[in-house]
A and B are shown apart, each in its own frame.
Chain A
Amino acid sequence: NAGVTQTPKFQVLKTGQSMTLQCAQDMNHNSMYWYRQDPGMGLRLIYYSASEGTTDKGEVPNGYNVSRLNKREFSLRLESAAPSQTSVYFCASSMGRAKRNTEAFFGQGTRLTVV
């Protein structure tokens, strides 16, 4: 079972470069999320997609854009990377509103360094 798959696992960018982080889930989940993890800060929500065709801002959306390409895929784009975006990024998915008592499943994370 693949679960949630993120690519790439590691990336180094120069300031001002752009890149897209890819995420796909094979659990037929409705909701998908992008979090960033910084030392001492826990995980903070960047954007989420409650269902296919919808996206909404989370706690820290500035500098990011997202696309819910279809039910399986949810990408995160950095248009002009900044050193403050150096972080570990996690994609997650859950059944969402369709079911109670549902946990979120996480990808393995992307360590992004912006120099």
Chain B
Amino acid sequence: AQTVTQSQPEMSVQEAETVTLSCTYDTSESDYYLFWYKQPPSRQMILVIRQEAYKQQNATENRFSVNFQKAAKSFSLKISDSQLGDAAMYFCAYRSANYGGSQGNLIFGKGTKLSVKP
């Protein structure tokens, strides 16, 4: 079974600085997707960024980028120029590309609470 581990329960960053959130995962599959979701106090789950395992290039979305190390099974999220609105819980998630069985199910890490200091 696949697992996702976020080893940092809480992180803090100064406004305008850069912060990196860590995520590792365990799988025997070669084809899968990885995601970072943001959950602000409103509870809404918001997709921040996705990575396809067969793509070597790291995904980037504006101030958000990932460092995807497939061999090391590592998927960290870097937030540049942090803003007060980035304060939230961040969840790393894994999804198999295997279309049999539980297709589409997301497996989540336990989350990292990010605080942004003005």
Residues of A within 8 A of B (CB): 31, 33, 35, 40-45, 48, 50, 56, 58, 88, 90, 92, 94-97, 100-104, 106, 108-109, 111
Contact = CB atoms under 8 A, between A and B. Distances in A.
Contacts, number: 63
Query: Nearest 10 pairs between A and B by C-beta?
Result: A106-B45, A42-B108, A97-B99, A42-B110, A109-B43, A43-B108, A31-B104, A97-B103, A94-B104, A96-B104
Contacts of B47: 103
Nearest to A94: B104
Tell me the dominant secondary structure on chain B's binding face. Answer: loop
A61 to B, nearest CB: 13
Nearest to B111: A42
Given A101-B50, A103-B50, A43 B44 contact: no
A31 B105 CA distance: 9
Given A42-B111, A96-B103, A97-B103, 16 more contacts: A31-B103, A33-B104, A42-B4, A42-B91, A42-B108, A44-B108, A45-B105, A48-B102, A48-B105, A58-B102, A97-B99, A102-B104, A103-B35, A104-B104, A106-B45, A108-B44
B97 interface: yes
Chain B interface residue bracket vs A: 20 to 34
Contacts of B108: 35, 42-44
A42 B108 CA distance: 6
Contacts of A56: 102
Contacts of B99: 97
A56 B101 CA distance: 9
Nearest to B52: A101
Contact of A50 (B9, B97, B103, B111): B103
B8 to A, nearest CB: 13
Contact of B104 (A42, A44, A48): A48
B91 A43 contact: yes
B11 interface: no
Nearest to A45: B105
| B4, B42, B103, B104 — most chain A CB neighbours (10 Å) | B104
A92 B45 CA distance: 10
25 contacts: A33-B105, A40-B111, A42-B91, A42-B110, A42-B111, A43-B106, A45-B106, A45-B107, A48-B105, A50-B102, A50-B103, A56-B102, A58-B102, A88-B43, A92-B45, A92-B106, A97-B99, A100-B52, A100-B97, A101-B50, A102-B104, A103-B47, A103-B50, A106-B45, A108-B44
